[in-house]
Amino acid sequence: MREVERVLAANEAFYTAFAARDVEAMEGLWSQRAPVACIHPGWQPLHGRDSVLASWRDIMSSPTSPPIRCTDPVAHMLGAAAVVICTERFPGAELVATNVFVEEDGAWKLVHHQAGGVARPSGDDEGETLH
């Protein structure tokens, strides 16, 4: 499998774990050694594996946690790191996300995630924004 396909597979595994509320799988997908951060939509940034994984445990344990599906992933390879940009689809809502990975012990692991809302669904022109 080419590196880009391995990165996209790691990205898909992230959304599979999220949709399945599989805490153990989610913990295994994040880097053990690299610095880790996460910006959930509307949240202040979280830094550090403990804070980030605690946030995912809280989110995935919520009975109102909506189903999520990832579409249109694009991976940009940056040597030993990679950025995946994708759309997160929820019932009635759409977010866009940045997921950053590093290679660790032969596998691509998450080190950063940011998701944010889009003013208009994909296909429309760009929305009005602060910048």
Dihedral class, residue 106 (left if φ above 0, else alpha if ψ from -120 to 50, else beta): left
79 belongs to the binding site for a copy of itself (CB under 8 A) = yes
Site for a copy of itself in 98-127 (CB under 8 A): 98, 100, 102, 111-112, 114-120, 122, 124, 126-127
- Nearest Cα residue to 31 out of 10, 6, 45: 10
- State which of residues 32, 50, 57, 66 lies at the interface with a copy of itself (CB under 8 A): 66
CB neighbours (10 Å) of residue 58?
11
Q: 42, 60 in Cβ contact below 8 A?
A: no
For binding to a copy of itself (CB under 8 A), which residues are involved? 18, 34-37, 39-45, 47, 59, 65-66, 68, 74, 76-81, 83, 85, 88, 90, 93, 95-96, 98, 100, 102, 111-112, 114-120, 122, 124, 126-131
